[in-house]
Amino acid sequence: MERASSFRRKAMARQHKGEVMIAGEQLRLRLHDGKLIKDRRYHLRTYPNCFVAQELIDWLVSQKEAPDRATSVCLMQHLMDHDIIHHVCDKRSVLKDAKLLYRFRKDDGTFPFNTEVKIFMRGQQLFEHLIGDKDSILQLRVEHGVAYQRSFPGCQLIDWLLQNMEAESRRQALDLCRILQEHGIIQHVAKKYDFFDSELLYQFCVNFRRRRHLSELLSESEEDDEDVVIGDDLAWGFVVRGMAPCYVQAVDPGSPAAAAGVKVRQFLCQVNGQCVLYLDYRTVSRLVMTGPRTVVLEVMEPLE
């Protein structure tokens, strides 16, 4: 049970990373269409294919991709944490709502095409091919009295991979399908079984064609937490740093903060209900120290 739970958690984390990549790419294409991404000059130097953070935040709010500027900053920081965007000179690890230049890594060739990304892209390519087939194996099917949209028997997917020369043998096709499952791209319809060359039904976990709303990245990422820290005679036991937004630099083991689940590298969104995204660490520290004995923190923690 423990192994299965760990497997599911890893698959969900990888699936979320995939969702971030899709949302980031959809945003990149929209920004190119809207001419927000273009060559810009700064200090006598031209930076190709970049955008101004402040202009992007304006656009996100106007397009109702986020309810306010603070949420927009959180969303873009999320893309930054996942190596989708970066500061043009890599001088900043946080995104600021200011006249600073940032760029999509796909536009300057620095996007990290690691093994995980390549597997995700292979899954996307297979999905597009399958969905475009005239007699697609992705159909409405029933397993144990429950109907599942766009599902397929495991053995039929393996047959299809062989027929379309996506694999050289059934063993290779089976290995590919299991890798796709491990990376949260396909799953058993009831999430009960690993992938088998059988009549068991499976589905794609990701609809690659669906238009993503950026706000989904925070609501589905399991990143937004609320930590309640009750101070004792030695204070709360955590240190924040950073100009805006600030982040947790250190947590004292055995402290109230550690007991509440505060972790290093979490960004602080709210302190006792007050938005602190635009405040530096000195101001945030003062809010904590001068506030009530019980401190309620809303944080954002990047997935590893």
Write down the mean pLDDT value for the chain. 85
CB contact set of 247 (below 8 Å; sequence gap of 6+): 240, 241, 265, 266, 267, 268
CB contact set of 179 (below 8 Å; sequence gap of 6+): 119
Residue 228 pLDDT: 59
Residue 217 pLDDT: 72
Residue 226 pLDDT: 53
Find residue 187's DSSP bridge partners: 203
- pLDDT tens track, the chain, 304 positions: 445 555 566 666 777 788 889 999 999 999 999 999 999 988 888 999 999 999 999 999 999 888 889 889 988 998 998 899 999 998 888 899 999 999 999 999 999 888 888 999 999 999 999 998 889 999 999 988 888 989 999 999 999 999 999 999 999 999 999 999 998 899 999 888 999 999 999 999 888 888 888 877 765 544 444 555 555 444 678 888 887 778 888 887 777 787 778 888 888 888 887 888 778 888 888 888 777 767 788 887 654 4
Measuring CA to CA, how many Å separate 119 from each of 18, 115, 191? 10, 6, 20
**pLDDT tens digit string along 209-232?**
888 888 777 655 444 445 555 554
Q: Where does 63-153 have alpha helices with state H?
A: 69-81, 105-108, 115-132
Asked if residue 276 lies in contact with residue 284, where contact means CB atoms within 8 angstroms, the answer is: yes
Measuring CA to CA, how many Å separate 42 from each of 57, 71, 88, 195? 20, 27, 11, 53
Please give the Cα distance from 293 to 214 (Å, whole number): 36
Residue 231 pLDDT: 54
Residue 123 pLDDT: 94
Residue 227 pLDDT: 59
Please give the Cα distance from 26 to 87 (Å, whole number): 19
Please give the Cα distance from 39 to 23 (Å, whole number): 23
Q: What contacts 24+ positions apart, CB below 8 Å, involve 88-96?
A: 88/47, 88/50, 94/242, 94/243, 94/244, 94/245, 95/53, 96/53, 96/243, 96/244
Residue 221 pLDDT: 47
DSSP string of 35-86, one letter each residue: T-SEEEEETTEEEEEEEEHHHHHHHHHHTTSSSSHHHHHHHHHHHHHTTSEE
Q: E-strand spans in the chain?
A: 38-42, 45-52, 85-87, 101-104, 139-143, 146-153, 186-188, 201-204, 224-230, 238-241, 247-251, 267-271, 274-275, 294-300
